[in-house]
């Protein structure tokens, strides 16, 4: 079997189901790997060794008595620390929730348990999912396994780094403006943002309620599809959950054929500001799709130019409302409660001490945008732009089956390089934000290394709402063709730690 940490999730599931490897063996191998490398990477905030081994033993017991096992039963996973897991610390990367242990499971966690997935622990993240580098975590930055001096993307950087470092074959992230796809791109793995409402948000600590969406990280498109299928579906506990069948993502990943498909290259998502190596690998991947039988055309989405401005009014506005609940009165951090301070003083001291600079910045932006006299000029106008972006997508998808672009304008940048320049940091989500604003699905797949720095590049695939299967069909076809060309998956060539 070799090194169990180097196998795909699909292969691990098959070994466990056949009895060739036990879930406990697989879990222990990944726990050992965490012990070996995570001090350098800091992908995990909490490792639940006892809980993981107990869950793995339950899978082995079920197999021994002949209970049917799902394709991911016994397969380990890293869980972004923004999803509640009963009794396990959930901090959202923030001091204001330090030590909080939720009394309930999120729906995503409940579905993972039902599928027999073994949750190894909670992955590091930008505080309250606000950031593109995981440098905004109150517990220190995560490092990119390809280059420990560089960022792993954000806000789900702990999740992406865990998969890229082989400390988990699967991970869950959340994507509000690109926080699954951008980390996947810079870590050389697969990451998908499902259709908004396709995966329940119950138990997902909200940043921006109309944008947040949980989704899978994996090292192959098929593995991502298997995880997507496990966590998706209607949930009556989430009022935004779509009551419809889960798109056939696993079947599409196994189809891996783009013949007869029309693929649109978005004109507005390229050009000035894009690293040359990113554009080179993207252009090569588009040519490869064309050679596989897809028809490639250029498509214009003119209102995408306004997506970032609209996003940075809508998301902070919703954040300012959602984060008002962290008031020191019910749970989490409480500062200055010395018996003499009033309620408002304790709230003020706690929020000042508990929130980091980026969270405070966005709360202030959002509160201003929602304030009397400015609501229509800022928040209201941004919502109108959101409508225009959705119409651009509708017009584009009337012509093509999917749209493609680079996932991020650059490869992973050095830690500390952009911390003092918020606008430069925000530009990392230039390509990913439109899909969040429209509620469509999108995916990043690795397409090689940039020639100038040897770091991973991702290609973004975008599809209409509830057409998530198209992402996996195109992504798997591209992955298969690249593998045949190079003889290996990109992630297999990652520098050893």
76-92 pLDDT, tens digit each: 999 999 999 999 999 99
d(CA 231, CA 250): 13
Q: Any idea what DSSP says for residue 380?
A: I
d(CA 3, CA 6): 6
Given the residues 155, 317, 405, 444, the one annotated as active site: 155
Active site residue 179: yes
CA atoms within 13 A on the CB side of 273: 14
Asked whether residue 326 is domain-assigned, the answer is no
Given the residues 179, 270, 405, 444, the one annotated as active site: 179
CB atoms within 10 A of CB 350: 22
CB atoms within 10 A of CB 53: 16
Asked whether residue 336 is domain-assigned, the answer is no
Asked whether residue 295 is domain-assigned, the answer is yes
Q: First-to-last CA distance in the chain?
A: 21
Active site residue 111: no
Asked whether residue 152 is domain-assigned, the answer is yes
Active site residue 106: no
CATH code for the domain of 469 = 3.90.1300.10
d(CA 214, CA 195): 10
Asked whether residue 40 is domain-assigned, the answer is yes
Q: Among the residues of 236-380, which ranges form H helices?
A: 249-255, 276-291, 307-322, 343-354, 357-369
Asked whether residue 444 is domain-assigned, the answer is yes
Tens digits of residue pLDDT in 346-392: 888 889 999 999 999 999 999 999 998 889 999 999 999 999 999 99
Element housing 235 (H / E): none
Q: Hey, what's the torsion of the CAs at 25, 218, 143, 312, to 10 degrees?
A: -140
Asked whether residue 377 is domain-assigned, the answer is no
Least confident of 32-36, 190-194, 343-347: 343-347
Given the residues 80, 95, 111, 193, the one annotated as active site: 80
The whole-number average pLDDT for the span 421-446 is: 95
Q: What percent of the chain has pLDDT over 90?
A: 89
Asked whether residue 191 is domain-assigned, the answer is yes
Number of domains composing the chain? 1
Range of the domain at 223: 7-304+387-493
d(CA 180, CA 193): 7
């Amino acid at each position: 079997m070799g090194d169990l940490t180097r196998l795909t999730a699909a292969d691990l599931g098959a070994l466990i189901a056949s009895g060739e490897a036990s879930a406990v063996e697989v879990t222990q191998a990944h726990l050992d790997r965490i012990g070996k490398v995570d001090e350098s990477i800091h992908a995990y905030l909490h490792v639940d060794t006892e809980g993981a081994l107990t869950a793995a033993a339950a899978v082995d017991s079920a197999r021994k008595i002949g209970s049917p096992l799902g394709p991911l039963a016994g397969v380990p996973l890293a869980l972004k620390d923004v999803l509640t897991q009963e009794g396990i610390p959930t901090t959202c990367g923030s001091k204001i929730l330090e030590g909080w242990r939720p009394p309930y499971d999120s729906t995503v966690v409940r579905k993972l348990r039902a599928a027999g997935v073994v949750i190894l622990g909670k992955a590091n993240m930008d505080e309250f999912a606000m950031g593109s580098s995981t440098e905004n975590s109150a517990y220190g930055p995560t490092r990119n396994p390809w280059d420990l001096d560089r960022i792993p993307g954000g806000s789900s950087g702990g999740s992406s780094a865990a998969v890229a470092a082989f400390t988990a074959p699967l991970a869950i992230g959340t994507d509000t403006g690109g926080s699954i796809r951008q980390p996947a791109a810079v870590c050389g793995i697969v990451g998908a943002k499902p259709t908004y409402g396709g995966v329940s948000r119950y138990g997902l600590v909200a940043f921006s309620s109309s944008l947040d969406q949980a989704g899978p990280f994996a090292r192959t498109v098929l593995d991502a599809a298997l995880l997507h299928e496990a966590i998706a579906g209607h949930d009556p506990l989430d009022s935004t959950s779509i009551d419809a069948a889960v798109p056939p993502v696993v079947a599409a990943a196994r189809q891996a054929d783009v013949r007869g498909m029309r693929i649109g290259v978005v004109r507005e998502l390229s050009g000035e500001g894009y690293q040359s190596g990113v554009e080179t690998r993207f252009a090569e991947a588009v040519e490869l799709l064309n050679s596989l039988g897809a028809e490639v055309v250029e498509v214009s989405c003119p209102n995408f130019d306004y997506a970032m401005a609209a996003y940075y009014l809508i998301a902070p506005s919703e954040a300012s409302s959602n984060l008002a609940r962290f008031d020191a009165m019910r749970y989490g951090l409480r500062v200055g409660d010395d018996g003499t301070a009033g309620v408002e003083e304790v709230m003020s001291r706690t929020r000042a001490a508990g929130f980091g600079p980026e969270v405070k910045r966005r709360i202030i932006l959002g509160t201003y945008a929602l304030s009397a006299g400015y609501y229509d000029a800022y928040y209201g106008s941004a919502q109108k732009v959101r409508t225009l972006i959705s119409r651009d997508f509708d017009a584009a998808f009337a012509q093509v089956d999917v749209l493609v672009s680079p996932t991020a304008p650059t490869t992973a940048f050095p830690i500390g390089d952009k911390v003092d320049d918020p606008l430069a940091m925000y530009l990392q989500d230039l390509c990913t934000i439109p899909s969040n604003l429209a509620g469509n699905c999108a995916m990043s797949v690795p397409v090689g290394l940039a020639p100038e720095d040897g770091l991973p590049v991702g290609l973004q695939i975008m599809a209409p709402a509830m057409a998530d299967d198209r992402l996996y069909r195109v992504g798997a076809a591209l992955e298969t063709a690249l593998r045949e060309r190079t003889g290996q998956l990109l992630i297999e060539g990652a520098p050893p730690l």
